[in-house]
Amino acid sequence: MTQQVTEENTSQSGDNEEILVATQYQLMWWGFKKHKPAMISGVVLLIFYILFPIAEFMGIGDPAQVRTQFHYIRPQALHFFESTIDGNKFNPHVKGVRGFRDPLTHKKDYEVLDDEILPVGLFQTSWDYKFLGIIETRKHLIGFKHDEFWSNPKRDEQTPEQLAKSLDRELKKRPSLYLIGSDKVGRDQWSRLLLSNRISLSIGLIGVALSFLFGITLGGISGYYGGIVDTIIQRVIEVIQSVPTLPLWIGLSAAVPRDWGVLQVYLAITIILSVLGWTGTARVVRGKFLSLREEDFVMAAQIAGANEGRIMFRHMLPSFYSHLIAQVSLSIPGMIIGEISLSFLGLGLRAPAVSYGIMLQQAQNPQVVALYPWLMFVAIPVIFIVLAFNFLGDGLRDAADPYGGRT
């Protein structure tokens, strides 16, 4: 019994010594690992960001191609086995569809053709794009096999330009592989969803980066110098925070010229969201600087002759990096929701750009949603992303208290 108590005391002593000599980020990581929802959320967000640069490769149909003859196609079921005389054979495929006009409602609908098998395979050729924005290719993770097209002897005689045109004509003959359906003009919802993920997540990251740059700089100046500088910055913050956020977003977004291109509007919306989102960070940084500027390490840096910029951003700011990291993860969902709201209202990104807000515009009419419920699928990744960032932020915020203990 005495030996067991001695071993437990030795183990606790070793753990305590390890905590005392650990760095700030080691302590934060130990605390973060205890938060299981945050760990799971981190994995979910990692998957979304992995899809970020390879959206076109993961896409199935051309997200910009209008094919009104295939509008509002239901999600197609992916079958892995085909029934043959010899039994079930592994052959991933979807069934063909044929459009018809309902004689009573005059609404176009589609019937599944059980006898038309469209084989599906990995790394198939489809619409052209630039992989990672650099390499021109037509390869996609999944798509139709087009065996009859490639087995035609004429393909060997065609030049690359002629082959590309022939393939484009072949792709237009049949519907895309609509795993989550098509929209009102026949565009593939899955491919558009992947591109929307890239746009919305990038706006969230860039917007938060800019807002934190403004917030840290102005909050640091306000807290370090105090006096009239502090008073002016705080009054500006109070004025900005006194105006309701959404009407202010709408007002500034409405001022964006309608003839601007996609990239210009993208940058404008990002700047609008970031310029109005820095006030919370500035107040946090100001409070930290007010409490730190009289600390011994700050006075030692001043005596050593360090300039004010180095003292602020090399000595004071790193002492609460962990809290800023937690706040970043909690701020990104607000930026994403802001972009979605503006685009949904028609004041943010506009076609031909693709974002979650633009896709949700199609679901404004309840009658449309009732007839074509798959248009609401875009809300699922939005919910996952926002919840994941919130859980991740909670985990990082708890871990920012490094001496809370660990298991």
CATH number given to 189-399: 1.10.3720.10
Can you give the pLDDT at residue 188?
87
DSSP tag of 176: -
- State the number of CA atoms in the 13 A half-sphere of 79 facing the CB: 15
Cα(125)–Cα(118) distance, integer angstroms = 15
- Residue 42 and residue 66 in contact, taking contact as beta carbons nearer than 8 Å: no
Confidence band for 162, pLDDT divided at 50, 70 and 90 = low
Pick from 125, 121, 137: nearest CA to 166: 125
**In this predicted model, what pLDDT tens digit does every residue of 221-273 receive, in sequence order?**
888 888 898 899 999 888 888 877 777 777 777 777 877 887 888 888 888 88
Reading the block at residue 24, the tokens are 């700030």
Confirm if 362 and 377 have CB atoms less than 8 A apart.
no
pLDDT reading at 84 higher than 60:
yes
How much is the pLDDT for 170?
63
Q: In this structure, which amino acid lies at residue 99?
A: G
- Domain residues of the chain, as ranges? 71-173, 189-399
Q: What proportion of the chain, given as a percentage, has pLDDT over 70? A: 84
Distance CA 193, CA 291 (A): 46
